[in-house]
Chains A and B, each alone.
Chain A
Amino acid sequence: KQEVTQIPAALSVPEGENLVLNCSFTDSAIYNLQWFRQDPGKGLTSLLLIQSSQREQTSGRLNASLDKSSGRSTLYIAASQPGDSATYLCAPALTDSWGKLQFGAGTQVVVTP
């Protein structure tokens, strides 16, 4: 069974600092990996999708890397803003799993003005 761990569990930084969120998973036979953002009481917003053949994916201030062989992905958020405050979730999908995602517990981020 895929186990997903996200470190740290919580993070508080002043505005302008770069954020580094880590995700590790135990089964490297993944099809893809998604990073999501969840605001309190809301659904999940997809941030980035990395296919298993890719090493990284970028969108604006967000960059996600994937090292499938070592079972790790990292989400970088450059020049953080108070609006980046949210819980960030990592979710790999195993190959031949019909896209079923296994979620980590998330990293709760607070960016202070």
Chain B
Amino acid sequence: SQTIHQWPATLVQPVGSPLSLECTVEGTSNPNLYWYRQAAGRGLQLLFYSVGIGQISSEVPQNLSASRPQDRQFILSSKKLLLSDSGFYLCAWSVLDSGEQYFGPGTRLTVT
């Protein structure tokens, strides 16, 4: 069966510090991968998606970036965090034929 992992579960970082969030998927090959953010009092917003290794598309201009160094690994990064980057970050993968998406447990990021 397929499993999706995210770490860390929670993170508190000062403004201006770097960020690296990791997501890995087990039990499937060549999945589409997605990063979403859920800010306090706001809905889920798609940040990045990837259809293959090294192929990243950005949905929202911001100081975040994403990379996919391996087939089942998706990384969200920032060189300098802003207060507005605080939120709940969710990674997801999708089944290619049906398109059904499955979400990880999320990372709660607080920028102070």
Q: Which single member of B46, B57, B98, B108 contacts A101 (CB below 8 Å)?
A: B46
Q: Please, which residue of chain A has its CB at the minimum distance from the CB of B91?
A: A43
Flag if A99 contacts B101 (CB, 8 Å).
Answer: yes
Number of interface residues of B (CB under 8 A): 24
List residues of chain B with CB within 8 A of the CB of A34.
100-101
Q: From known contacts A41-B108, A98-B32, A98-B51, infer whether A46 and B100 are also in contact, taking CB-CB under 8 Å.
A: yes
List residues of chain A with CB within 8 A of the CB of B43.
103-106
Best-surrounded residue of B44, B45, B98 (most CB of chain A within 10 A): B44
Interface residues in A55-107 by Cβ distance below 8 A to B read 89, 91, 93, 98-106
Q: From known contacts A51-B98, A101-B101, infer whether A89 and B44 are also in contact, taking CB-CB under 8 Å.
A: yes
Q: Please, which residue of chain A has its CB at the minimum distance from the CB of B96?
A: A99
Interface of B, secondary structure class, is strand
Interface residues in B18-62 by Cβ distance below 8 A to A read 32, 34, 43-46, 49, 51, 57, 59
How many A-B residue pairs have C-beta atoms within 8 angstroms? Tell me: 58
- Shortest CB distance A65–B (Å): 18
List residues of chain A with CB within 8 A of the CB of B46.
100-102
List residues of chain A with CB within 8 A of the CB of B99.
31-32, 49, 93, 99
- Shortest CB distance A92–B (Å): 11
Q: From known contacts A43-B105, A98-B49, A100-B49, infer whether A49 and B44 are also in contact, taking CB-CB under 8 Å.
A: no
Interface residues in A8-48 by Cβ distance below 8 A to B read 31-32, 34, 36, 41-46
List residues of chain B with CB within 8 A of the CB of A104.
43
Q: Please, which residue of chain A has its CB at the minimum distance from the CB of B104?
A: A43
Report how far A36 CA is from B103 CA in the complex, Å: 10
4 A-B pairs closest in CB distance: A44-B103, A103-B44, A43-B103, A49-B100
Additional 20 contacts, C-beta under 8 A, given A98-B32, A99-B49, A101-B101: A31-B99, A32-B99, A32-B100, A34-B100, A43-B104, A43-B105, A44-B90, A45-B103, A46-B101, A49-B99, A91-B44, A98-B49, A98-B57, A99-B34, A100-B34, A100-B59, A101-B44, A103-B44, A104-B43, A106-B43
